[in-house]
Structure 1
Amino acid sequence: MSRAPVRGRWQLILLALLASSAPALAWPSLAAAAAAGAGTTSAAAETGAALAQQTRGLTHQSGLFDLWRDTAKGRVLLGVSALEQPFLLVSSLPYALGSNDVGLDRGQGGEVQMVHFERHGNRLFLLRDNTGYVANSADADERAAVRESFAAAVLWAGDILATEGELHLVDFSSFLLADRHGVGARLAATKQGSYQVDAGRSAVLAATAKAFPDNLELEALLTFAGPASGEFVRQVAADPASVALRQRISMVRLPALDSAWRPRPYHPFSGGFDVSYVDFATPLASSIDVHWQVRHRLEKTDPAAAVSTVKRPIVYYVDRGAPEPVRSALVQGASWWASAFEKAGYKDAFRVEVLPEGVDAMDIRYNMIHWVHRATRGWSYGNALADPRTGQIIRGAVTLGSQRVRQDILIAESLLAPYGQHAPAAAAQLAEQMALARLRQLAAHEVGHTLGFAHNFAASRLGNGSVMDYPHPLLGLDASGKPTLEQAYGVGVGPWDDYIVRYIYGDFGHGEQEQQALAGLRAAAHQAGLQYVSDQDARSPGASHPDGLLWDFGPDSLRTWDQLGAVRQRALASFSYDVLPAARQAGELEARLVPVYLLQRYQGEALARLLGGASFASTSAGDIRAGIAPAGTRPTPAPMQKEALARLSDTFTAEYLALPASVLDVLTPPATGYERGREYFASRMASVFDALSMAEAGAAQTAGFLFDAERLNRLAWQQARDARQPGVDTLLEQVLRKSWQRTSVPASLAGGEAVQLAANWVVLDSLLNVLDGGKLHAQVAAQLQVGLRQLAGWLQQQPGQGSTAASRKQAAELILAYLRDPRSVKLRTLPVIPPGAPI
């Protein structure tokens, strides 16, 4: 539905409402930041007697609010004169926990809240406004009706210590000493136990408090006391019963809205994020659901010029804690966005620098790329902290996990085997070069999020289509048949990135002129073959879009599967201690086996996405009517679905899952002082490598996608509409023929029969679990039940010999018992698969 009329009316009203508000945030130069205390004066000289008595001997700074630092008593006093005036409040963590699993990272920003102070009696209250429900109207009564209909929140209240004119003095320390970042809730949500702030071991860091014209930066040391029972806290904390973190509170002036910069309506094909709220003041025929594009404020110095310099460039600073050559790689990769901004008409509008020494990296005025250490490797992320009214970005904050680059090197070394006698001298260096190339791409990716850009997992269909995709290293075999990584990652932003910068930041005027220009950009993007599939349609195991793929590459999923299969086969055949540096303990060879053995894990997901696949466009009704984008969904062609099923069924065979004897014979248990962790295959054989657990994990990797309830439901429906499409019966028949119903396994495979039986049980357990999950349509569940009953009959009629006979007998009994009374059978959980992402 069109929102153009709503937009125009809303902007005029908001301009009127904010005409008297403060100017836009004026972030100072770094030189000015170093002089933060220059405004310090004597408190007594500025205030009357009552205020002077309360602030005698304290250091004063003027800013968004007046600030007095009481370092002797560990207090922060605020002078508040602007009551009922909204501003923004943001928490962050300068010192953090260090656990990827919990997610409380150094530099992490919290939720942006719009708040205001109110006076009631002799107390000052800090209230959080309910920005989810508004009335953007010039009528005060209309605005009040909505404000009174939805609850706000009182975040804090404190006694007024002194009042001079319109200025009220309060001790704000108790606010700072409370858990404003949600640390306790996060620890509880990750099952680490109940942690609470221990006031006796917490302190306001008054000496670090800073006031600026548009923001205050306040910090406290918080000690969280808890049970010390959680695995993740025990792993990282010096004392898991006493977890000490630092919490930063930033109080920020609201950005102004003026004629030079206006919020841009969000469109589903923009490739960006949005802020949204319900506006009850929209015309009755218009939607009350309002969405604005998240973006930085960017203004040309010459609005009439096609290409112009800007009034205030977007600058990002790289953490000084990042070592070389990482630091240079981060600067280089993040700087890729400069070319896209120039193509969009903004000269010298975007740059990346190393943070100068002595500058506060947590000051909300600076966009930061933080280099963050954790106990284990994990995700990186980028947060755009934005004005909830308009989507204007206040700050971009990137968190890059330091161990990811080491995992990339491990994967490269596991494929290149650079430590053998006859390995090329440059092979080890090539592994590091590949990891740094990935890091450049990652820096650009996460900075992209902080610029307002969402993931686009369909971009890989066009090669280096976008840094906003998740890239798999481009792997192949050289002329001698060895794996090659020389062109593993692309360089620079891609065509999708040029499109989203132009769409979200381009200057096209206002009103209808702007809307026509944006529609033209969308039409050109569709015509050029650019697709957009983001998280909502890509992350679920049962997701349907065949192009919304994480960690894939190439335009043809089937062809890439075959290409990676050849690399996997060669890498496993030659796998040896040549992949491991000489100083490493021998047991680490197992960890390096994992990414090679599971090399096709993401491309397997891509094949599964073809089954029951349905492509579609993120679009609007107007674009469909205009012929810019197609309507509806388009099923994956039947021949392609059948080819994908055939390849995935092969992954349940012992030929695919069994290791070469040459590898089995050299795997050595971890040395004393070391142990298997999450990066290893599980073992039920004490210290010895467990080839059966490995095979189970490999089979579970495919089973988790094939036997997803959403996928099975779609297969059934697609076949109901088109009998040529494969259905649930087709899938079941193919998988069982390659697993339980195999008549023999080649004797040449090391432990081949045992490996096949391990995979067979994973197949059966997966089928019973999806049947038991309650997410299948009744008729789809009925098909599975009939198929399982037929399998039980086949197993009884084909008893086999030896260990195969025992498994077939037990499997038939299990199936029949479950079908008689599901509650009488305790189903096994599926095998744990070692983590792959992030790579």
Structure 2
Amino acid sequence: DLDFSAAYDTGIGEWDKVATMWLYRQYPDGTDEDAAGDALLESARAGGLRFIDDPQGRGVGTAHPHASVWDNGADPVAALTEVMQVRQVALDRFGADVLRTGQPSSGLRAVIVPIYLYHRYQVNAAAKMIGGYDFHYAETGEADLAGTAVPAARQKAALDALVATLDPAALDLPDDTLNLLTPPMVSFRGANAGAEYFPGETGAMFDLLAAADTAASMTLSAVLHPQRVARLIETRRRDTSALGYDDVLQALEGAVFRTVSSPRQAGILHREQVRYVSTLIDLSGNGQATPEVVMQTNAYLAGLEGRLSKRQRRMPDSDAAVRMELARRIGAHLDRPSPAAPPSSSAIDIPPGSPIGAGSAEACWHCDTDWLSR
């Protein structure tokens, strides 16, 4: 069951209280206000209140395990498991009665989007544990200046929770629900104007495979973000016991290329398999990916091509057809000519040296000719 009694907080948040006290608190005469303010912030941090700036929170590929937006709970991994349970309860109850009386039934197509993708923000939060790097904005003199990689066990737990979001059973919808998702009138400009709809290629019929593809893409693009993969490779270079890129690929491959007895779920897995291979091909061709990411991704794809080319005994024809096509796509990717470019790695920008603190040497020399004469 779902309990909405505490869905919304009352009053201002705990961080708002700390910020207000830090900014406006009136101290007795003689108080060292800098020291008192530092003590307040340190107490807040010890109590679990962390400040990490907006770019770290909003970027999907960023590293900080506690910097996310719209996520829930103190533990991103446990919260993802709970969010998936909430999502399932909502989907199980989904039907005509979720609309107010008199509303067009086609509104269900708009309502299904935020429910089906209810876990989207928690996926991003949990993914930041993988290749995660914990740090805070320290000052000299503090005891814990150094950042630290998220422990391997925590990264593995996050990976397991994210892999579970790819379960075809979690992405399927019953026929009774699918047949309620009828399209709206194109000319209707009512309550659902501006609503979000899943894309699809099945016309009036709701395209479940497109919806499942969307959900799988959220997870795969978060886990296989170029910056995240680069951190996995670098962390493994420093510590051979750390979770590595190969561990992530092994877990994802095992999830999307497993065998299921239900043809209904097999169709969802086939779409996930296409998305998985496509995500890796895009990753290897990403201009922002490091040379290590590109090389290891292409090496993995070469091995995957060989595994997909070997038909297993008693494999259904539909499975074999998808694997054959994916092997062909991987081969075409690996065999295609590289775009014309110098056969060297991109140059690394060297930080400007002399004069320190100026935007450029040119600006410094021309800004004050009297200085040069002196």
Please give the TM-score of this superposition, normalised by the length of structure 2: 0.83
SS in 1 for 2:128: helix
What pairs up with 1:617-696 in 2 under 5 angstroms?
617-621=136-140, 625-627=141-143, 630-671=144-185, 673-674=187-188, 679-696=196-213
Structure 1 equivalent of residue 254 of structure 2: 737
Deviation of 1:488 (Å): 0.4
* Distance (Å, rounded) in 2 between the aligned partners of 1:527 and 1:729: 35
Structure 2 equivalent of residue 581 of structure 1: 100
What pairs up with 1:152-191 in 2 under 5 angstroms?
none
Give 5+ residue unaligned stretches, structure 2.
Answer: 340-374
Deviation of 1:586 (Å): 1.4
- The question of whether the paired residues in 2 share the 8 Å contact of 1:712 and 1:728 is answered with yes
* Distance (Å, rounded) in 1 between the aligned partners of 2:30 and 2:50: 27
Q: 1:527 to 1:677 in 2, by over 3 A?
A: closer
Tell me which of the two structures has the higher relative contact order, counting C-alpha pairs closer than 8 angstroms and 6 or more residues apart: 2
- The question of whether the paired residues in 2 share the 8 Å contact of 1:670 and 1:687 is answered with no
| Structure 1 residue 596 corresponds to structure 2 residue 115 | yes
* Distance (Å, rounded) in 2 between the aligned partners of 1:713 and 1:501: 39
Deviation of 1:720 (Å): 1.6
- The question of whether the paired residues in 2 share the 8 Å contact of 1:586 and 1:671 is answered with no
Please give the TM-score of this superposition, normalised by the length of structure 1: 0.38
* Distance (Å, rounded) in 2 between the aligned partners of 1:549 and 1:822: 39
Structure 1 equivalent of residue 317 of structure 2: 802
Matched AA of 2:238: R
RMSD, aligned CA = 2.3
CA deviation map 1:233-257 (0-9, x unaligned): xxxxxxxxxxxxxxxxxxxxxxxxx
- The question of whether the paired residues in 1 share the 8 Å contact of 2:285 and 2:294 is answered with no
| Structure 1 residue 788 corresponds to structure 2 residue 285 | no
Matched AA of 1:731: V
CA deviation map 1:525-576 (0-9, x unaligned): 3333321112021111111111112111222222212222212112212211
Matched AA of 1:820: D
Structure (1/2) with the larger strand percentage: 1
What pairs up with 1:137-216 in 2 under 5 angstroms?
none
- The question of whether the paired residues in 1 share the 8 Å contact of 2:232 and 2:243 is answered with yes
Deviates more, 1:537-546 or 1:651-660: 651-660
Matched AA of 1:782: M
- The question of whether the paired residues in 2 share the 8 Å contact of 1:653 and 1:759 is answered with no
SS in 2 for 1:746: coil
Q: 1:569 to 1:822 in 2, by over 3 A?
A: farther
- The question of whether the paired residues in 1 share the 8 Å contact of 2:126 and 2:158 is answered with yes
What pairs up with 1:475-490 in 2 under 5 angstroms?
482-490=1-9
* Distance (Å, rounded) in 1 between the aligned partners of 2:186 and 2:291: 54
- The question of whether the paired residues in 1 share the 8 Å contact of 2:108 and 2:180 is answered with no
* Distance (Å, rounded) in 2 between the aligned partners of 1:790 and 1:655: 28
Deviation of 1:710 (Å): 0.5
Deviation of 1:804 (Å): 2.5
* Residue among 280, 287, 292 paired with 1:779: 292
Q: 1:642 to 1:581 in 2, by over 3 A?
A: same
- The question of whether the paired residues in 2 share the 8 Å contact of 1:572 and 1:660 is answered with no
| Structure 1 residue 543 corresponds to structure 2 residue 62 | yes
- The question of whether the paired residues in 2 share the 8 Å contact of 1:533 and 1:548 is answered with yes
Matched AA of 1:730: D
Structure 2 equivalent of residue 811 of structure 1: 326
SS in 2 for 1:716: helix
Deviation of 1:733 (Å): 0.8
* Distance (Å, rounded) in 2 between the aligned partners of 1:612 and 1:672: 45
Structure 1 equivalent of residue 273 of structure 2: 760
Matched AA of 1:732: L
CA deviation map 1:187-231 (0-9, x unaligned): xxxxxxxxxxxxxxxxxxxxxxxxxxxxxxxxxxxxxxxxxxxxx
| Structure 1 residue 504 corresponds to structure 2 residue 23 | yes
Q: 1:803 to 1:492 in 2, by over 3 A?
A: same
Give 5+ residue unaligned stretches, structure 1.
Answer: 1-481, 825-839
* Distance (Å, rounded) in 2 between the aligned partners of 1:493 and 1:557: 23
* Distance (Å, rounded) in 2 between the aligned partners of 1:607 and 1:658: 22
SS in 1 for 2:269: helix
* Distance (Å, rounded) in 1 between the aligned partners of 2:49 and 2:219: 29
* Distance (Å, rounded) in 2 between the aligned partners of 1:665 and 1:591: 14
Structure 2 equivalent of residue 78 of structure 1: none
Structure (1/2) with the larger helix percentage: 2
Structure 1 equivalent of residue 88 of structure 2: 569
Matched AA of 1:631: L
Deviation of 1:518 (Å): 2.4
Deviation of 1:619 (Å): 2.7
Q: Of the two, which has the highest radius of gyration?
A: 1
Q: 1:756 to 1:822 in 2, by over 3 A?
A: farther
SS in 1 for 2:9: coil
SS in 2 for 1:666: coil
Matched AA of 2:255: K
* Distance (Å, rounded) in 2 between the aligned partners of 1:567 and 1:810: 36
- The question of whether the paired residues in 2 share the 8 Å contact of 1:709 and 1:770 is answered with yes
* Distance (Å, rounded) in 1 between the aligned partners of 2:17 and 2:194: 42
Structure 2 equivalent of residue 421 of structure 1: none
